[in-house]
Homo-oligomer: A and B are copies of this chain.
């Protein structure tokens, strides 16, 4: 009989198909598991899969007293209360780096699209306005990439891949991260200094208490009216209200966002701007990176049920 695994977050069925061939999945589909399953059913749950960003605290863990493994699908684990898990001797695994290329690709796609005004350009062509007598002011030439200063906040796997991609566009790349890395990019001593220095701020830090609202009104002011911000990390890293205010008063030039404070609900104020590009948290969303993430999930679950430590474990758990 295959081992039982609870699916905690809401996932498209296709993402769980391969995992379902190896394990018996109890799919709560994003609902509180105790509303979907009986206490007796939950008492048999020893491992679960979660999206990492879905809140998962000690009280929820206690509804599954046999739970000993939380396996995050993806690199993030910011929703998981790691202290609560440690207290209960629950191992926490994730899929490190499995989606780094896909996420970095989307970050650069957002940078290119927002700075080149790709969406207004496409609308201009489709609307037929291109043949109008007066060219649209939205189509005025914008600054290009060569010489542009791209600031990468966070220099993990994703940050490095963003940096190498951005550099290929003849940009100057700088970064700030808690520690200096052996990378061929200029190190700026603080997030403030990075925002002051760069023209495009690419957010690639891990979400957590230390990075919550790191991009606030003051950082956005330093970025300035010709500056852009791109976020493919987590919505919590930006003070979204401050971002909306900065866009409304045109104190920054635009934004490319794949993540939001409350998903799947980006604020209406944000969706009204023409100088933003918005994607529905699809950074890691390529066929190859899903396969790679599923490989990590399967490897973690197989090791766990064989009584071994998780091969892809969250550092410090």
Q: Which residues of A contact B (CB under 8 A)?
A: 12, 14, 101-102, 105-106, 108-109, 112-113, 116, 118-119, 121-122, 124-126, 128, 130-131, 135, 139-147, 164-165, 167-170, 263-266, 271, 277-280, 282, 285-290
Nearest-CB residue, chain B, relative to A117: B282
Report B-chain residues with C-beta under 8 Å of the C-beta of A145.
101-102, 105, 286
Instruction: Known A124-B280, A280-B139; judge A144-B105 contact (CB<8 A).
Output: yes
| A and B contact pairs by CB, cutoff 8 A, 26 listed | A12-B135, A14-B140, A101-B144, A105-B169, A109-B109, A109-B116, A113-B118, A118-B118, A118-B277, A118-B279, A119-B119, A124-B280, A125-B271, A125-B278, A125-B279, A130-B263, A130-B265, A130-B266, A131-B264, A131-B265, A141-B285, A141-B289, A142-B287, A143-B287, A143-B288, A144-B286
Once bound together, how far apart are the Cα atoms of A151 and B124, in whole Å? 28
Report B-chain residues with C-beta under 8 Å of the C-beta of A265.
130-131
Give which listed residue, B116, B121, B128, contacts A105 with CB less than 8 A.
Answer: B116
Report B-chain residues with C-beta under 8 Å of the C-beta of A168.
164-165, 167-168
Report B-chain residues with C-beta under 8 Å of the C-beta of A143.
286-288
Once bound together, how far apart are the Cα atoms of A165 and B168, in whole Å? 5
Once bound together, how far apart are the Cα atoms of A131 and B265, in whole Å? 7
Once bound together, how far apart are the Cα atoms of A218 and B139, in whole Å? 35
Report B-chain residues with C-beta under 8 Å of the C-beta of A280.
121, 124-125, 130, 139
Once bound together, how far apart are the Cα atoms of A29 and B165, in whole Å? 40
Once bound together, how far apart are the Cα atoms of A168 and B141, in whole Å? 26
Is the CB–CB distance between A266 and B125 below 8 Å? yes
Nearest-CB residue, chain B, relative to A104: B169
Nearest-CB residue, chain B, relative to A289: B144
Once bound together, how far apart are the Cα atoms of A264 and B126, in whole Å? 11
